[in-house]
Amino acid sequence: MVADNRPIGIFDSGLGGLTVAKEIIDALPSEDIVYFGDTGRVPYGSRSRDTIRKYAAEDESFLLKQDVKLIVAACGTVSSVASDIGAKLPVPYFEVVSPAVKSAVNETKNKKIGVIGTNATINSGEHKRQILELMPDAQVFVKGCPLFVPLVEEGWFESQDDVVKQTVERYLADIKKADVDTIILGCTHYPILSEAISDYMGDSVKLINAGTSTALEIGKFISENDMCNENKKIGKHSFYVSDKADSFRRIASLLLGKELDSDSVEQVDINSL
Ligand code: DGL
């Protein structure tokens, strides 16, 4: 049996991609992971298409320098506006829009699907385009929710927090009125606010976390292509950030449900490596 013991490379503008990393770690515990969070330049979602594409290309080339076997754009914004760059990489590339769209189309009963994401993601129209391709008679209701990202990066995601509750209500009021039964969390930061979003929308509305189906796709791909890490039982997880390591470590430990030690998170200047 051939194996590929190199790590899986994952990147996001900040902490949000950890929701995808967690699903990958849970589904593929023996894989080594290298995660890059571009915390010095977050948020991506309010920037121009050209800037997002430039940042995505730099993040990907940083991960390639870590000798990863595949790259995951664990960022809805990059997946929406820069996947053509990823598709040209010398290693397999995964993004988070199409797995989420497939899950939503499978889940919806009333064919009314909400999509929330950063402004760049919503303006790209990518989720809507892909949903209508798979389900032409679906009704799609979209909303950019830019303030969700700084709330999460600040560590404010408790569902009982008044600021969180009010922000959720203000952004999601129209989608709630539209009677959707499924919402794609089109930004990887948003699953961290799932409880608050569910409290407002009600339990009957299914929230789609792109990380779950992306992790399944990756697992299937590496096993079909003999690319699993056969060296280890428990993989090593390394985290790189472009701003202070400390605040990232604190919130990442909370989100991943395990204490990250001080040498597992390193601050780097990706352009000087
Ligand atoms: N978590 C990212 C996304 O999925 C980025 C959010 C941002 O940087 O604005 O869109």
- Residue-wise pLDDT tens digits, 211-230: 999 999 999 999 999 999 98
Is 85 found in the same domain as 217? yes
Q: Is residue 49 part of a domain?
A: yes
| pLDDT tens readout for residues 15-44 | 999 999 999 999 999 999 999 999 999 999
Do 223 and 247 belong together in one domain? yes
Average of per-residue pLDDT across 154-162: 94
Q: Residue 242 is part of which domain span? A: 8-95+212-272
The verdict on residue 1 lying in a domain is no
**Ligand 1 pocket residue status of 152, Cβ below 6 Å:** no
> Would the pLDDT of 1 be above 60?
no
Q: Is 37 in the pocket of ligand 1 (CB under 6 A)?
A: no
Percent of the chain with pLDDT over 90: 91
Q: Is the predicted pLDDT of residue 273 greater than 70, yes or no?
A: no
> How confident is the model at residue 265, as a pLDDT?
95
The confidence score (pLDDT) of residue 74 equals 98
Number of structural domains (the chain) is 2
Q: Has residue 125 got a pLDDT over 70? A: yes
89 and 109 housed in the same domain: no
Helix (H, G, I), strand (E, B) or coil at 188: coil
The whole-number pLDDT of residue 153 equals 86
Look at residue 3 and tell me if it is in a domain.
no
Domain boundary among 178, 210, 242: 210
Q: Are 69 and 8 in contact, with CB atoms under 8 Å apart?
A: yes
Residue 36 contacts residue 63 (beta carbons within 8 Å): yes
* 2 within some domain: no
12 within some domain: yes
141 bridge partner residues: 114
How many Å apart are CA 242 and CA 263, to the nearest integer? 15
* 60, part of any domain: yes
Q: What's the average model confidence in pLDDT over 144-149?
A: 96
Average pLDDT over residues 239-265: 91
**62 and 133 part of one domain:** no
Q: How far is the CA of 80 from the centre of ligand 1 (A)?
A: 10
Q: Are 167 and 100 in contact (CB under 8 A)?
A: no
Q: What is the CA radius of gyration of the chain?
A: 18
User: Is residue 75 annotated as part of the catalytic site, yes or no?
Assistant: yes
Per cent of the chain over pLDDT 70 is 99
196 lines ligand 1 (CB under 6 A): no
pLDDT on residue 85: 95
Among residues 210, 225, 255, the one where a domain terminates is 210
Give the number of the atom of ligand 1 that is nearest the alpha carbon of residue 46: 9
Distance of CA 35 to the CA centre of its chain: 12
Given a cut of 80, whether residue 47 has pLDDT beyond it is yes
Q: Is the pLDDT of residue 232 over 80?
A: no
Residue that finishes a domain, picked among 193, 210, 227: 210
Q: Which of 25, 74, 187, 245 is catalytic?
A: 187
265 plus 232 within the same structural domain: yes
- Please say whether the beta carbons of 44 and 16 come within 8 A: no
Over residues 201-205, mean pLDDT: 97
154 located within any domain: yes
Identify whether residues 198 and 250 lie together within a single domain: no
In short, whether 43's Cβ falls inside 6 Å of ligand 1 is yes
Are 194 and 216 contained in the same domain?
no
In this structure, are 89 and 107 located in the same domain?
no
Statement to judge: residues 69 and 111 lie in one domain? no
pLDDT in tens, 54-92: 999 999 999 999 999 999 999 999 999 999 999 999 999
Same domain, 89 and 217: yes
State the CATH number of the domain containing residue 194. 3.40.50.1860
Ligand 1 mean position, distance from CA 127 (Å): 15
pTM, whole model, 2 decimals? 0.95
Left (φ > 0), alpha (ψ -120 to 50) or beta: where does 202 sit? left
Whether ligand 1 lies within 6 angstroms of the CB of 76 is answered as yes
**Same domain as 173, residue 83:** no
